A and B are shown apart, each in its own frame.
Chain A
Amino acid sequence: MPSSEEKNNDQITEVKETRADRKPQADPALAIDPERLARMHENKKRFHRKRRIKDWAMFTGYLTPSLVGVMVFFFLPLLMILKTSFQRSSTNTDFVGIENYERVLTNEAFINSAKNSLTFSGIAVPLSVVLALLLAILLNTKLPGESVFRSILLNPMMVPVASVVLIWQVFFSYNGMANGWGLYKLFEDGRIDWLKSDHSQLVILALFLWKNLGYNMVLFLAALNSIDQEILEAATMDGAGSITRFFRIKMHFLAPTLFFVAIMSLINSFKIFREVYLLTGDHPYRNLYMLQHFMNNAFTNLDYSKLSAGAIIMCVFMIVIVGALFFAESKFDADMEG
Chain B
Amino acid sequence: MRKSTRIIAAGLALSMTVPVLTACKKGRGGEKIASDTPWYNLTVAQIDDGLDADNVDYGYSNFIGVHGDNFVFRKGGSYKLPDGFDYDNDDRTPYNIDEINVYDINGDLINTVNLNDVTASFTGYDYVGISNIRESGNTYMADVECDVFSTGAVDNFNIYIDVDNGTVSDPVPMANDGLIDNLVANGGSNERTVDVGDYKVTEVWFSGDVTNYVLVVEDANGNTGTIELRNADSLASVYNIQGIVDVGNNKAVVIATLSGGEAAFYEINLQALTASKINEDMSWLASHVSSITTVSGLGTVVSENEGLYTINYDNRSIDPLFLYEYANVNAYEVGRFTPIMVSESRAIFSGTLYNPYPATSNTVKTVFYIFDRADSNPNAGKTILDVASVNTMSYPLACAICSFNETNPDYYMRLDMSYQIPSTVQYATGENADQDLETAANNLGNQLAIDIMSGTGPDIIINGTQFGMLNNDDYLLNLSDFAATNLGSDKYYTNVFEAAKINGNLYQIPVSFGVQGLAADASGVNDGQIGFTFDQYAAFVQGPCNGHDPINKGRLYFFINCLNCMSDLMVSDGAVNYDNEAFRSLAEFTASNINEVLQSEDEEEYYMDEGAAYVANVLNVGYYFNVTSSGKVLVGMPSYDGRGPAITVHDSVGISAQTIAPDACKEFVSLLLGDQIQEYYGAQDGVCVNRAAFATVGDKYIGIHNDEVDANLRRFSEAEARSYGMSVDYYDESFVTSFEQLVESLDCMYINDGSVNAILREEVPAYLEGQKTLEQIIPVLNDRIQTVINERR
Interface residues of A (CB under 8 A from B): 80, 83-84, 89-93, 103, 107-109, 112, 174-175, 193, 196, 281-286, 289, 294, 296-304
Residues A301 and B469 in contact in the complex (CB < 8 Å), given A90-B453, A283-B784: yes
Q: Are B772 and A84 in contact (CB under 8 A)?
A: no
- Given A93-B26, A283-B784, A289-B787: 4 more A-B contacts, CB < 8 Å: A193-B772, A283-B787, A283-B788, A301-B791
- In-complex Cβ contact of A300 among B4, B455, B759 (8 A): B4
Of listed A91, A193, A298, residue having the most chain B CB within 10 A: A91
Q: Are A89 and B772 in contact (CB under 8 A)?
A: no
Q: Are B771 and A302 in contact (CB under 8 A)?
A: no
By beta carbon, the residue of chain A nearest B18 is A91
Residues A112 and B8 in contact in the complex (CB < 8 Å), given A91-B453, A107-B793, A282-B755: no
- In-complex Cβ contact of B759 among A90, A283, A303 (8 A): A283
Q: Are A112 and B26 in contact (CB under 8 A)?
A: no
Q: Are A281 and B762 in contact (CB under 8 A)?
A: yes
Bound CA span A84–B785, Å: 29
Bound CA span A174–B776, Å: 12
Q: Are B449 and A302 in contact (CB under 8 A)?
A: yes
By beta carbon, the residue of chain A nearest B8 is A302
Residues A109 and B791 in contact in the complex (CB < 8 Å), given A283-B784, A300-B2: yes
Bound CA span A298–B469, Å: 11
Give the chain B neighbours of A302 by CB distance below 8 A. 8, 12, 446, 449-450, 453, 469
Give the chain B neighbours of A83 by CB distance below 8 A. 20
- Confirm or deny: B792 has a beta carbon within 8 angstroms of a beta carbon on chain A: yes
User: Distance in Å from the Cβ of A312 to the closest Cβ of chain B?
Assistant: 16
Give the chain B neighbours of A103 by CB distance below 8 A. 793
Would you give 14 A-B contacts (Cβ < 8 Å), ordered by A? A80-B20, A90-B453, A91-B15, A93-B19, A108-B790, A109-B787, A174-B772, A283-B755, A284-B784, A286-B783, A297-B791, A299-B5, A299-B8, A302-B450
Q: Are B469 and A285 in contact (CB under 8 A)?
A: no
- Confirm or deny: B70 has a beta carbon within 8 angstroms of a beta carbon on chain A: no
User: Distance in Å from the Cβ of B348 to the closest Cβ of chain A?
Assistant: 45
Bound CA span A175–B446, Å: 38
Bound CA span A92–B455, Å: 9
- Confirm or deny: B766 has a beta carbon within 8 angstroms of a beta carbon on chain A: yes
Bound CA span A92–B449, Å: 14
Give the chain A neighbours of B793 by CB distance below 8 A. 103, 107-109
Give the chain A neighbours of B19 by CB distance below 8 A. 90-91, 93
User: Distance in Å from the Cβ of B282 to the closest Cβ of chain A?
Assistant: 31
Give the chain B neighbours of A281 by CB distance below 8 A. 758, 762
Bound CA span A107–B776, Å: 27
Give the chain A neighbours of B762 by CB distance below 8 A. 281
Give the chain A neighbours of B759 by CB distance below 8 A. 283
Give the chain A neighbours of B780 by CB distance below 8 A. 193, 196, 285
User: Distance in Å from the Cβ of A306 to the closest Cβ of chain B?
Assistant: 8
Q: Are A89 and B474 in contact (CB under 8 A)?
A: yes
- Confirm or deny: B23 has a beta carbon within 8 angstroms of a beta carbon on chain A: yes
By beta carbon, the residue of chain B nearest A108 is B790
User: Distance in Å from the Cβ of A289 to the closest Cβ of chain B?
Assistant: 6
By beta carbon, the residue of chain A nearest B759 is A283
A-B complex: 10 closest residue pairs judged by Cβ atoms: A109-B790, A286-B783, A108-B790, A109-B791, A196-B780, A283-B784, A283-B787, A90-B16, A297-B791, A91-B15
Q: Are B791 and A294 in contact (CB under 8 A)?
A: yes
- In-complex Cβ contact of B787 among A89, A112, A196 (8 A): A112
Give the chain B neighbours of A89 by CB distance below 8 A. 453, 474
User: Distance in Å from the Cβ of B10 to the closest Cβ of chain A?
Assistant: 12
Give the chain A neighbours of B202 by CB distance below 8 A. none
Q: Are A298 and B791 in contact (CB under 8 A)?
A: yes
User: Distance in Å from the Cβ of A7 to the closest Cβ of chain B?
Assistant: 80
Give the chain B neighbours of A299 by CB distance below 8 A. 5, 8
Interface residues of B (CB under 8 A from A): 1-2, 4-5, 8, 12, 15-16, 18-20, 23-24, 26, 446, 449-450, 453-455, 469, 474, 755, 758-759, 762, 766, 771-772, 776, 780, 783-785, 787-788, 790-793
Of listed B18, B766, B785, B793, residue having the most chain A CB within 10 A: B793
Q: Are A175 and B771 in contact (CB under 8 A)?
A: yes
Bound CA span A91–B788, Å: 25
Give the chain A neighbours of B4 by CB distance below 8 A. 300
Bound CA span A94–B181, Å: 73
Give the chain B neighbours of A108 by CB distance below 8 A. 790, 793
Give the chain A neighbours of B449 by CB distance below 8 A. 302
Bound CA span A285–B793, Å: 19
Of listed A294, A302, A304, residue having the most chain B CB within 10 A: A302
Q: Are B783 and A174 in contact (CB under 8 A)?
A: no
Give the chain A neighbours of B791 by CB distance below 8 A. 107, 109, 294, 297-298, 301
Give the chain B neighbours of A193 by CB distance below 8 A. 766, 772, 776, 780
Residues A301 and B792 in contact in the complex (CB < 8 Å), given A109-B787, A281-B762: yes
Bound CA span A284–B785, Å: 9
Q: Are B771 and A174 in contact (CB under 8 A)?
A: yes
Bound CA span A89–B772, Å: 44
Q: Are A174 and B2 in contact (CB under 8 A)?
A: no
Q: Are A300 and B474 in contact (CB under 8 A)?
A: no
By beta carbon, the residue of chain B nearest A286 is B783
Give the chain A neighbours of B474 by CB distance below 8 A. 89, 92
Q: Are B772 and A300 in contact (CB under 8 A)?
A: no
User: Distance in Å from the Cβ of B787 to the closest Cβ of chain A?
Assistant: 5
Bound CA span A296–B4, Å: 12
Give the chain A neighbours of B23 by CB distance below 8 A. 93
Give the chain A neighbours of B758 by CB distance below 8 A. 281-282
By beta carbon, the residue of chain B nearest A83 is B20
Give the chain A neighbours of B16 by CB distance below 8 A. 80, 84, 90-91
Give the chain A neighbours of B24 by CB distance below 8 A. 91
Q: Are A90 and B15 in contact (CB under 8 A)?
A: yes
Give the chain B neighbours of A90 by CB distance below 8 A. 12, 15-16, 19, 453
By beta carbon, the residue of chain A nearest B789 is A109
Bound CA span A283–B761, Å: 13
By beta carbon, the residue of chain A nearest B773 is A190
Bound CA span A91–B17, Å: 9
Bound CA span A299–B2, Å: 11
Bound CA span A296–B658, Å: 26
Q: Are B790 and A91 in contact (CB under 8 A)?
A: no
User: Distance in Å from the Cβ of A142 to the closest Cβ of chain B?
Assistant: 48
By beta carbon, the residue of chain A nearest B784 is A283
Q: Are A304 and B12 in contact (CB under 8 A)?
A: yes
By beta carbon, the residue of chain A nearest B791 is A109
Bound CA span A273–B243, Å: 52
Bound CA span A196–B764, Å: 13
Q: Are A300 and B5 in contact (CB under 8 A)?
A: yes
Bound CA span A108–B26, Å: 31
User: Distance in Å from the Cβ of A271 to the closest Cβ of chain B?
Assistant: 15
Q: Are B783 and A285 in contact (CB under 8 A)?
A: yes
Bound CA span A304–B758, Å: 23
By beta carbon, the residue of chain B nearest A88 is B474
User: Distance in Å from the Cβ of B570 to the closest Cβ of chain A?
Assistant: 16
Of listed B18, B453, B455, residue having the most chain A CB within 10 A: B453
Q: Are B784 and A91 in contact (CB under 8 A)?
A: no
User: Distance in Å from the Cβ of A72 to the closest Cβ of chain B?
Assistant: 15
Q: Are A107 and B790 in contact (CB under 8 A)?
A: yes
By beta carbon, the residue of chain A nearest B11 is A302
Bound CA span A108–B575, Å: 12
Give the chain B neighbours of A283 by CB distance below 8 A. 755, 759, 784-785, 787-788
Give the chain B neighbours of A303 by CB distance below 8 A. 792
By beta carbon, the residue of chain B nearest A293 is B787
User: Distance in Å from the Cβ of B5 to the closest Cβ of chain A?
Assistant: 7
Bound CA span A296–B469, Å: 15
Bound CA span A83–B788, Å: 27
Bound CA span A283–B8, Å: 20
Bound CA span A294–B20, Å: 25
Residues A285 and B26 in contact in the complex (CB < 8 Å), given A90-B453, A174-B772, A298-B791: no
Bound CA span A300–B200, Å: 53
Give the chain B neighbours of A285 by CB distance below 8 A. 780, 783-784
Bound CA span A108–B474, Å: 21
By beta carbon, the residue of chain B nearest A296 is B1
